[in-house]
Amino acid sequence: MAQCVESLFANDYADKEVIVVNDGSSDQTQNILEAMKVKYPELIVVHQENAGKARALNNGIRNYVTKDLVMGLDGDSQVASDALAKMAAHFEADSQLVAAATNVRIASAHTLIEYAQKFEYLIGYKYKESEPSFNLEYIIGGIGSTFRLSALLAVGCYSTDSITEDIDLSMKMINVLGNKEAHFDYADDVLCFTPPAHNFTDLRKQRFRWKYGRFKALMKNRRLFFSRQFDKYSATLTWWKLPKIVFFEEVMMLLDPLLVGFMFYILYTYFDFTVVSGSLVTFLIVSLMSVFSDTTLSKKGTGRHDPDFPIDTDADVHHQCGRPLILAQMHHQVQGNHLQHQPNLKVDAHCPLTADKQMRIDSEANAPFIRTGRFFIS
């Protein structure tokens, strides 16, 4: 967590403010927070009862964020030294951009299973680069992803009934705002770092949670499937990407054990060295292409490097619901002009906006009223 806060303040970026939302943690974590407050007086530390990650994020967003852009981070992640400025530049270049994902990297890989995740992230995020071009971006991940505050408030912030709140939020934003006039992007040049799962048991639990959370989010937003609102949603997403995920990825996942077993049976029964070696060579070539074509990887003399994450044994820090959440607020300035809300996007009738296009969000029962202001969606 300390490394996460340090990486944010290391960004040479004017007019920034950081909020840590701490929803129940150990004495060790409390001591770290107090040390951070002394070192960085502008750091705001918020304490609340452990009510889950989504409620912690909502507390920070609704009651403490005042800037135009909000970036969310887990307590065990870090951002590159130029991440905030580069992310703000993406929003500045596109007034319709409401959410952008970051290029997440595995840091400090030491074992085989950790290196496997490192290459998996490299290859996976390489494929992710193509999604915005075809308007297919539908997951704005939880590490470093940035949102316009006004868009977050329009959809009621994070849902509290999901185990993968980032996927749920992404799908909800697309459902409410659409993805034609509202843009969802992947910022390849904005690097964030996260530690890997250290053993197979942790990896299995992590991936099962991701799979289940994504399936639940898809079912909650099933009205997107084969939608005929072509003026609001891209057909590439609603008629191809989302149905393909459900019918060819989620359903096929149930058959994966049988298919893998059948593959091993074929290899054992009709073993052919050329087939096995050819498969390994093909995978090696794909991996090397992903590595050498990546312009953001460490290169000698560039000053880039993956941070070396210390192993934090504080169970509260690593627990999904007890981990401190960190929000970085960004208010970018270019030629003296602040980022402005853009009154040119459309939303469904159930979006919480008043008739006169003013923003008035009713938060949860005990949350204070958020001031009314011109919203960027009309």
Question: CB atoms < 10 A from the CB of 320, how many?
Answer: 13
pLDDT tens, per residue, the chain with 378 residues: 777 877 777 776 645 566 666 655 567 777 777 888 888 888 888 888 777 888 888 988 998 888 889 998 888 888 988 899 899 999 999 999 999 999 999 988 899 999 999 988 988 888 888 888 889 999 998 899 999 999 999 999 999 888 899 999 999 999 999 999 999 999 999 999 999 999 999 999 998 899 889 989 999 999 999 999 999 999 999 999 999 888 877 777 777 778 888 878 887 787 777 777 887 788 778 777 766 766 666 543 333 445 544 444 343 334 433 456 778 777 554 333 333 333 333 333 333 333 332 232 233 323 222 222 222 222
- The CA angle 290-293-299, to the nearest 5 degrees, is 110
At residue 24, the pLDDT reads 56
At residue 357, the pLDDT reads 28
- Using a cut of 0.85, tell me whether the model's pTM lies above it: no
DSSP 3-state assignment of 11?
coil
DSSP 3-state assignment of 189?
strand
Q: How far is CA 145 from CA 262, 279, 327, in A?
A: 40, 35, 10
At residue 94, the pLDDT reads 93
At residue 298, the pLDDT reads 52
Rounded Cα–Cα distance for residues 67 and 169 (Å): 20
- For β-strands 358-359 and 333-334, DSSP reports them as unpaired
| 342 φ/ψ angles, rounded to the nearest 5 degrees | -105, 115
Rounded Cα–Cα distance for residues 24 and 28 (Å): 12
